[in-house]
Amino acid sequence: MVQVEEAVALKNTNRAQANIKLEAYGYAIADATKAIEIDQSFVKAYYRRAVANTAILKHADAIHDWKVVVRKNPSDKVAKAQYEACQKLVKRDAFLKAIEVAEAPSAAVGLDLENMIVEDSYDGVRLKDEMTKEFVDDMIQRFKDGKRIHKKYVFQIILAVKDLVYNEPTMVETKVEQDRKLTVCGDTHGQYFDLLEIFRLNGFPSEKHGYLFNGDFVDRGSWSTEIALLLYAYKWLYPNNFFLNRGNHETDDMNRMYGFEGECKAKYTERVFKLFSESFSALPLATLIGDKFLTLHGGLFSDDAVTLDDIRKLNRHNQRQPGQSGLMMEMLWTDPQTEPGRGPSKRGVGLQFGPDVTKRFCEKNGLEAVIRSHEVRMEGYEVEHDGRCITVFSAPKYCDSTENKGAYINIESDYKLQFQKFDAVPHPDIKPMAYANNGMMSMMGM
């Protein structure tokens, strides 16, 4: 009997590790918990649960399991380092919460752009008061060559776009006119060279060719600042037909864990990260395309009563970060499931919604489908829920470790969805998560 229980505990613990690899952290926590219930002395199960809770930023939960691991295996130097790192994160989270101010001053206060000097030695195109195609083209090449743009221009771009998106509604509404095209892209996650491959294959943004990037521009991939600045530059250049939805990785907690904060500090300054953070909180949460397709990063809601009007009325400016509940959190975090109804999230954050939920929402709001991102799809996209729920993911060979394709969706004035797949392209030898909290990431095999 004891051997059977040990085998079951081991099976659950191994499955927890597999779910960690799949980023199904909620399932990993459940599996590890089952293993612990069977065998309270099984150190590896505590270890897996600690890793999963750390990944979804539940540091206060993770710290208890790290403590158990260290107590049971005092010679495990790696676990001890993780326990100490987790203690620091818990203290940091408490400190940040304590100093949270509803109307904190902007990081732009005291930033004297007018008198900021761009040195004569700067070899890039100069930026004045308006974005130009010449500047964007030069910036694309600079980033390909491993160069940066001057920090004055970084500040200019972020501040200009912050103002633009702040003044857009929470749900942007757009139509595709005759002889125009709109391309919807999913997560790009700092994979700059794959973003350029989309433009190479599909055409660069222009007055007649709009783009919608559906969140998660940053984190994980190690060219997140390059992607964010390029997308922002295009938003400034084509404000009326280049759209940006917020994703769950355009949030402070995720950026601190998964690399964007560290990358901003390494390539530019901490102030750059703070300004990006302010701009992320100003981004719209959804885009309605031709009254037919609701496009948002995560998915649908815990309550069937939610309508498009509720999204329209949502004042996102009152809540900078999505929190653990509410419409904003659900729009950024939820996922579809094959079973009817709603279920617990495999991620450990948000929830999952079934085909019946999607059908009711679309019929109630006069929609053809919901377009969302947020999850790897091996073919780059997937049509599910009887055609009413479409996932598009635009980071091929995600994190250099998943053999998935990327995809994007072209929409013309007939509103027929045209799916295009593409493969990853080579990039310089810089690994994913190069700027992340690498101590924690090593726990997850990243």
C-alpha distances in angstroms, 304 versus 243, 308, 341?
Answer: 27, 12, 11
pLDDT band, residue 444 (cuts 50/70/90): low
Query: pLDDT value at position 309?
Result: 98
**Within 10 Å of residue 384's Cβ, how many Cβ atoms?**
15
Residues 126, 217 share a domain: yes
* Across 406-412, average pLDDT: 98
Residues 130, 71 share a domain: no
Structural contact between residues 118 and 169, judged by C-beta atoms closer than 8 angstroms: no
pLDDT band, residue 85 (cuts 50/70/90): confident
Residues 322, 229 share a domain: yes
Helix (H, G, I), strand (E, B) or coil at 247: coil
Count of domains for the chain: 2
CATH number at 85 reads 1.25.40.10
- Rounded to whole angstroms, the Cα distance separating 248 from 151 reads 26
Query: pLDDT value at position 21?
Result: 86
Phi, psi of 169 (to 5 degrees): -70, 165
Helix (H) / strand (E) containing 155: helix 151-166
Query: pLDDT value at position 68?
Result: 93
Structural contact between residues 28 and 54, judged by C-beta atoms closer than 8 angstroms: no
Tens-digit pLDDT profile for residues 226-266:
999 999 999 999 999 999 999 999 999 999 999 999 999 99
Is residue 103 in a domain?
A: no
Tens-digit pLDDT profile for residues 111-123:
999 999 999 999 9
Is residue 106 in a domain?
A: no
| Domain closes at, from 38, 64, 98 | 98
Is residue 428 in a domain?
A: yes
Tens-digit pLDDT profile for residues 337-379:
999 999 999 999 899 999 999 999 999 999 999 999 999 999 9
CATH number at 266 reads 3.60.21.10
Tens-digit pLDDT profile for residues 377-395:
999 999 999 999 999 999 9
- Rounded to whole angstroms, the Cα distance separating 262 from 219 reads 10
Residues 161, 73 share a domain: no
Structural contact between residues 432 and 262, judged by C-beta atoms closer than 8 angstroms: no
The one-letter code for the residue type at 307 is T
Active site residue 64: no
The one-letter code for the residue type at 289 is I
Query: pLDDT value at position 89?
Result: 79
Query: pLDDT value at position 6?
Result: 76
The one-letter code for the residue type at 171 is M
| Active-site pick, 189, 249, 297, 374 | 249
- Rounded to whole angstroms, the Cα distance separating 327 from 313 reads 11
| Domain closes at, from 47, 73, 98 | 98
**Within 10 Å of residue 114's Cβ, how many Cβ atoms?**
6
Is residue 104 in a domain?
A: no
Query: pLDDT value at position 100?
Result: 62
Is residue 301 in a domain?
A: yes
- Domain hosting residue 325, numbered range: 113-443
Residues 129, 24 share a domain: no
Residues 158, 46 share a domain: no
H-only helix segments in 268-408: 270-282, 308-313, 327-333, 355-365
Query: pLDDT value at position 233?
Result: 98
Is residue 108 in a domain?
A: no
Helix (H) / strand (E) containing 296: strand 293-296
Residues 193, 73 share a domain: no
438: nearest Cα among 257, 197, 190, 174: 257
Is residue 127 in a domain?
A: yes
| Domain closes at, from 38, 69, 98 | 98
- Rounded to whole angstroms, the Cα distance separating 446 from 16 reads 16
CA angle 294, 297, 298 (to 5 degrees): 100
pTM of the model: 0.92
Strands 417-422 and 342-344: unpaired
Residues 169, 24 share a domain: no
Q: Which residue has the tokens 């729920």?
A: 389
**Beta-carbon contacts of residue 229 (< 8 Å; ≥ 6 apart):** 139, 143, 149, 154, 157
Residues 119, 12 share a domain: no
pLDDT band, residue 103 (cuts 50/70/90): low
Residues 144, 75 share a domain: no
Residues 328, 282 share a domain: yes
- Rounded to whole angstroms, the Cα distance separating 49 from 68 reads 11
Please list the helix, strand and coil fractions of the chain in percent, rounded to the nearest 5, in that order.
Answer: 45, 15, 40
Tens-digit pLDDT profile for residues 147-191:
999 999 999 999 999 999 999 999 999 999 999 999 999 999 999
Query: pLDDT value at position 446?
Result: 43
Is residue 399 in a domain?
A: yes
Residues 274, 150 share a domain: yes
Tens-digit pLDDT profile for residues 277-325:
999 999 999 999 999 999 999 999 999 999 999 999 999 998 888 988 8
On the question of pLDDT at 441 being above 70, the answer is no
